[in-house]
Amino acid sequence: MRDNIAPITKAVIPAAGLGTRFLPATKAMPKEMLPVVDKPAIQYVVEEAAASGLDDILMIIGRNKNALANHFDRVTELEIALEKKGDHTKLSRVNHSNTLADIHFVRQGDPLGLGHAVLRSRKHIGDESFAVLLGDDLIDERDELLTPMIEESQRRQTTIIALMEVPAESIHLYGCAAVEETDDPNVVRVTGLVEKPSAEDAPSNLAIIGRYVLRPEIFDILEVTPPGKGGEIQLTDALQVLAADETSGGVYGVVFKGRRYDTGDRVDYIKSVLQLALAREDLGPELAPWVRQLAAGLPEHPLADEEKELLEEMAN
């Protein structure tokens, strides 16, 4: 890192989605508070940001998100009760979330899409580079992603997105990048971006996963980005403007090959919980034999016709 470049210290975490895929669990609780093993999903994301030196976090929230503010605050009654019991392990677990970073909140207002949510951070971010972390993607803390992205953005003085290879049949769930190689095998130059293309239209199988290091130029572009896929203002569309503009310094992608857990839909969420629990020293050894036994006893389960139809519909 060059000395004269300002460090990146701010992160934006959009958390205003309605979480309809998880109803009724998300009727009165934001989906970001769903527990992944024994921590709410959002805490993993805040921990990741803090581990990369981002200690000023702005969450873009919707209605019904008070639980998020409470989770990252102190709970004096609980602290006193645990102190009295002398339960210091639990006490430090309770307090960990409120020591990670300064957390600020702003409401999104109208739910007009990810690009709109990021634009809501403009006043707080000002004229600095910043990171955006999406809560549906959890990155295993043993595999680095955000720190190399920040370093790359400092080194190249440009916008960096995180990319990951996905199977062709899943690309319609993501923003997709057309890329060129660079002299670094882990970094690509992004030549084009398209939000959630069909498998036939996708320029590659490199999907945007929810980590971005953005420069303040993005805000002016977002201000004039028209609604795109799904009628929403898409961050991908604003990034495409930068990728297509040679004078902007372009967009580069760090290609992630580590472990990523998707908590965005129910099946992936259940898989994430299981994988992370199995990896834990305090839970894995007890859980693993049970999972093996369960799996051995499972009957083959070919998809019923209705399920197949539903999957096809979702893919289109």
174 binds ligand G1P (CB under 6 A): yes
Task: Decide: is 208 part of the binding site for ligand G1P (CB under 6 A).
Answer: yes
Binding mask 250-289 for ligand G1P (x = CB under 6 A): --------------x-------------------------
Whose structure tokens read 């409401």? 107
Measured between alpha carbons, how far is 201 from 315 in angstroms, rounded to an integer? 13
* Cα first-last separation, the chain: 44
Q: Please answer whether residues 205 and 253 qualify as being in contact, where contact means their C-beta atoms are separated by less than 8 angstroms.
A: no
Check residue 152 for interaction with ligand G1P (CB under 6 A): no
Q: Using the rule CB under 6 A, is 137 a contact of ligand G1P?
A: yes
Binding span for ligand G1P by CB under 6 A among 39-47, 58-66, 82-90, 207-215: 207-215
Nearest one of 127, 114, 124 to 215, comparing CA atoms: 127
For 60, 83, 275, the CA distances from 108, given in Å and listed in that order, are 6, 38, 33
Strands in 142-284 per DSSP E: 159-165, 175-181, 187-195, 206-214, 251-255, 260-262
Q: Which one, of 233, 235, 239, lies nearest residue 253 by Cα?
A: 239
Q: Closest separation between CB of residue 27 and ligand G1P, Å?
A: 20
CB-nearest residue to ligand G1P? 175
Q: Which of 114, 117, 132, 163 binds ligand G1P (CB under 6 A)?
A: 114
Among 32, 56, 195, 237, binds ligand G1P (CB under 6 A): 195
Q: Tell me the two tokens of residue 111.
A: 């739910």
Applying CB under 6 A, among 135, 210, 228, 253 the residue interacting with ligand G1P is 210
Task: Provide the minimum distance between the beta carbon of 268 and ligand G1P in the complex, in angstroms, as a whole number.
Answer: 11
Is 237 a binding residue for ligand G1P by CB under 6 A? The answer is no
Residue (121 or 236) nearer to ligand G1P, CB: 236
CA–chain centroid gap for 269, Å, is 13
Residue type, position 119, single letter: L
Give the interface with ligand G1P as residue ranges (CB under 6 A): 114, 134, 136-137, 174-175, 195, 207-210, 234-236, 264
